[in-house]
């Protein structure tokens, strides 16, 4: 697959160190790789404009030292960078302090080791219980330490000490929702200006009973949406999850027949990766990464990326016990068919508007729709088309004023060759289109939200409140939403927050009487509950704004028991003035608690 060439615009702002994009690399999956094989994948990563691999290494793997040696040899030859991500949740046991120190000291001066402001860059997968050890490790190695302690949430993770920044592993949406940036905002809030590493992932499906794993999370628009959120949040670092974690189906690197050992050790019922390339998700990375780093990127050639599941949910294939969401993450579980939809998804990089997309399945064509259209008609378009009962080979064609771009995809089928099991993994493909240079009319830092709706559409009188951060100003906006949480145990009310809000309101003599009336009319008869906050889908134009959660709520956003930030909800059938009143008292509360 050939990656899209781009013309990047140089940074006009001086930075201590440029932003960087990494890919999470499972070292344990490649014990047989020689230097040449490492070089082959590194070249693919370089073509995608990835800056470094985050080398996930688990303690007790007998192949670690030899594999790392070959990896650094290859990286030095090609001028690529690597850094360690110590996996405290895998392996035979958590990493001992002495082994971590020794490995960093061994490689910190290596020319291929990624440095941040002159310090060796080090991360983790989990390991918050070992947080006290990092004071001594940092003293001995002078490393820059940015761990993933996501299991604790941002607030608690920052209290553990020794972290120079934080990596947030939360890259997948909850249930039927699309992805939003509530938890990212929580990290920004509690980091207090320290560097933030944001996770981006295209998909998630795993079926490995040996590891007690059999669930999926909603993918569909995730790859497109999450990169759009990167452009808004502008973290110091982005980490793609993953390059080669085949067992969880979120790989964007090439397939390797010698890298499927996890399917055996995890006792997977079938190999759901073989024949399911994800190379199509890399085609726009040069454009996306350049836009992230420079706030703008020019198009040289148009291109098309396509992805979909090959088994419809109505195929008759067994779901194999796979759930949407997982109790292991303290989430309510769904039937997978209630989370995903049988659709072909596509993204096109186009140099002008007025394009038409056609999706043909089994010889039956339909006109596709665009879910997202870029500012000025120049940039990334994204859309989808329903299977509508069609099976057979897939052909997606985009006809733009510059010409035609076509992807021929794997057939959609009702057959069940994998032991009668549904494959929830995605097939992807891509194609490079006609040459047609163009540049978007505005930089991303000159854009702001001008239109859009909340997840599930904004309507009714549910009092949803969130922050909008624009430059150095904060303003509270009130939105309304008809949706409530489908599974309240996963969104347990934080009664401490409710009590603090209640005490604050009752302390204000101006509003004591109306509050008492409301309490009698509404609160005494109908529950006040906490539900998932809904961040709006945004159309970007003109000047920039960053949606953030209500500050009073954000301390709960990273809590495992409340995986998403919550919003105060008032009974839907209340009088219209109640919505405005709830906005006023919430704004008053924010001003007194900032």
* pLDDT for the residue numbered 384: 97
- For residues 580-594, give the mean pLDDT: 40
- Cβ atoms of 199 and 169 within 8 Å: the answer is yes
pLDDT beyond 90 at 562: no
* 454 vs 296: which has the higher pLDDT: 296
pTM attached to this predicted model: 0.79
Does position 239 have pLDDT exceeding 60, yes or no?
Answer: yes
Q: Which run of H or E residues covers position 350?
A: strand 343-350
Distances, alpha carbon 119 to alpha carbons 53, 107, 138, 139, 145, in Å: 17, 12, 10, 12, 9
pLDDT in tens, 450-494: 655 444 443 332 223 233 232 222 222 222 222 333 333 333 333
> CA torsion sign, 355 to 360 to 364 to 369?
negative
Give residue 328's pLDDT.
87
Where residue 568 falls among pLDDT bands split at 50, 70, 90?
very low
pLDDT > 90: percent of the chain: 70
Contacts 24+ apart (CB under 8 A), 144-148: 144/116, 144/117, 144/119, 144/120, 146/121, 146/122, 146/195, 146/197, 146/237, 147/123, 148/85, 148/123, 148/124
Closest CA to 296 of 8, 545, 6, 554: 8
Two structure tokens written together for 393: 């080979």
| Angle at which helices 285-294 and 222-233 cross, to 10° | 20
Instruction: Dump pLDDT digits (tens) for 312-335.
Output: 999 999 999 999 999 888 889 999
Least trusted range by pLDDT, from 75-89, 414-428, 470-484: 470-484
What are the structure tokens assigned to 42, written together? 């590194």
Q: How far apart are CA 578 and CA 586, in angstroms?
A: 12
Provide the pLDDT for residue 448.
Answer: 72
**Residues 71, 82 contacting (CB under 8 angstroms):** yes
State residue 33 phi and psi, 5-degree precision: -70, 135
CATH number of the structural domain 21-295: 3.20.20.80
Residue 457 corresponds to which tokens in the numbers above? 């559409």
Residue 178 per-residue DSSP state: P
pLDDT of residue 497: 43
Mean of pLDDT over the chain: 81
Distance CA 411, CA 309 (A): 10
- How far is the CA of 449 from the CAs of 375, 468, 470, in angstroms? 11, 10, 11
Report the candidate in 354, 373, 348 with the shortest Cα–Cα distance to residue 451: 373
Token digits of residue 328: 């292991």
Question: Looking at the predicted structure, is the pLDDT value of residue 495 above 60?
Answer: no
My answer on whether omega of the bond before 328 falls inside 30° of 0, hence cis, is: no
User: Does residue 566 surpass a pLDDT of 80?
Assistant: no
Element (H, E) at 58: strand 52-58
Q: Tell me the pLDDT tens digit for each residue of 519-547.
A: 565 544 444 333 333 333 333 333 323 33
User: Is the pLDDT reported for residue 553 higher than 50?
Assistant: no
Could you state, in order of their start, the residue ranges of all structural domains in the chain?
21-295, 303-442, 447-593
Q: Which two tokens stand for residue 172?
A: 């997948």
Percent of the chain with pLDDT over 70: 73
Q: What is the pLDDT of residues 122-138, one digit of tens each?
A: 999 999 999 999 999 99
């Amino acid at each position: 697959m050939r990656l899209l060439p781009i013309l990047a615009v140089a940074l006009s702002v001086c930075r201590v160190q440029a932003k960087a994009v990494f890919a999470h690399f499972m070292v344990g999956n490649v014990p047989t790789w020689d230097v040449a094989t490492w070089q082959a994948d590194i070249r693919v990563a370089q073509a995608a404009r990835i800056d470094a691999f985050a080398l996930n290494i688990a303690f007790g793997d007998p192949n670690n030292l030899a594999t790392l040696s070959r990896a650094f040899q290859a990286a030095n030859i090609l001028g690529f960078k690597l850094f360690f991500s110590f996996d405290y949740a895998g392996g035979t046991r958590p990493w001992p302090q002495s082994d971590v120190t020794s490995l960093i000291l061994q490689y910190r001066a290596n020319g291929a080791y990624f440095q941040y402001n002159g310090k060796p860059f080090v991360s983790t997968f989990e390991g918050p219980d070992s947080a006290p050890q990092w004071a001594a490790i940092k003293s001995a190695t002078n490393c820059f330490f940015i761990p993933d302690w996501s299991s604790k949430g941002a607030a608690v993770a920052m209290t553990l000490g020794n972290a120079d920044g934080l990596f947030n592993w939360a890259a997948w949406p909850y249930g039927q929702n699309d992805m939003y940036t509530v938890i990212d905002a929580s990290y920004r809030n509690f980091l207090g200006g320290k560097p933030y590493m944001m996770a981006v992932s295209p998909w998630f499906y795993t079926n490995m009973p040996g590891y007690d794993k059999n669930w999926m999370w909603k993918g569909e628009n995730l790859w497109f949406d999450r990169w759009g959120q990167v452009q808004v949040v502008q973290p110091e670092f982005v980490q793609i999850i993953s390059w080669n974690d085949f067992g969880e189906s979120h790989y964007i690197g090439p397939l390797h027949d010698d890298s499927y050992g996890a399917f055996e050790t995890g006792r997977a019922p079938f190999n759901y990766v073989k024949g399911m390339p994800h190379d199509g998700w890399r085609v726009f990375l040069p454009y996306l990464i350049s836009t992230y780093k420079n706030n703008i990127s020019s198009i040289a050639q148009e291109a098309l990326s396509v992805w979909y599941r090959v088994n419809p949910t109505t195929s008759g294939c067994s779901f194999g016990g796979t759930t949407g969401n997982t109790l292991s993450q303290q989430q309510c579980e769904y039937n997978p068919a209630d989370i995903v939809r049988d659709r072909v998804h596509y993204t096109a990089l186009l140099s002008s508007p007025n394009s038409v997309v056609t999706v043909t399945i089994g010889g039956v064509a339909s006109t596709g729709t665009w879910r997202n259209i870029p500012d000025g008609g120049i940039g990334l378009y994204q859309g989808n088309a329903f299977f509508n009962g069609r099976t057979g080979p897939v052909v997606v064609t985009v006809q733009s004023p510059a010409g035609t771009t076509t992807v021929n995809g794997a057939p959609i089928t009702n057959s069940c060759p994998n032991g009668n099991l549904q494959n929830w993994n995605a097939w992807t493909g891509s194609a490079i289109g006609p040459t047609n240079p163009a540049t978007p009319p505005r930089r991303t830092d000159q854009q702001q939200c001008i239109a859009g709706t909340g997840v599930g559409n904004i309507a009714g009188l549910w009092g949803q409140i969130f922050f909008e951060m624009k430059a150095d100003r904060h303003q509270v906006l009130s939105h309304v939403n008809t949706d409530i949480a489908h599974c309240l145990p996963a969104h347990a009310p934080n009664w401490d927050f409710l009590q603090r809000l209640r005490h604050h309101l009752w302390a204000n003599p101006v509003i004591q009487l109306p509050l008492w009336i409301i309490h009698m009319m509404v609160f005494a008869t109908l529950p006040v509950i906490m539900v998932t906050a809904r961040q709006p889908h945004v159309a970007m134009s003109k000047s920039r704004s960053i949606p953030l959660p209500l500050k009073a709520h954000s301390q709960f956003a990273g809590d495992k028991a409340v995986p998403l930030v919550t919003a105060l909800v008032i009974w839907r059938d209340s009088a219209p003035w109640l919505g405005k009143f709830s906005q006023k008292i919430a704004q008053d509360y924010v001003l007194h608690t900032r």
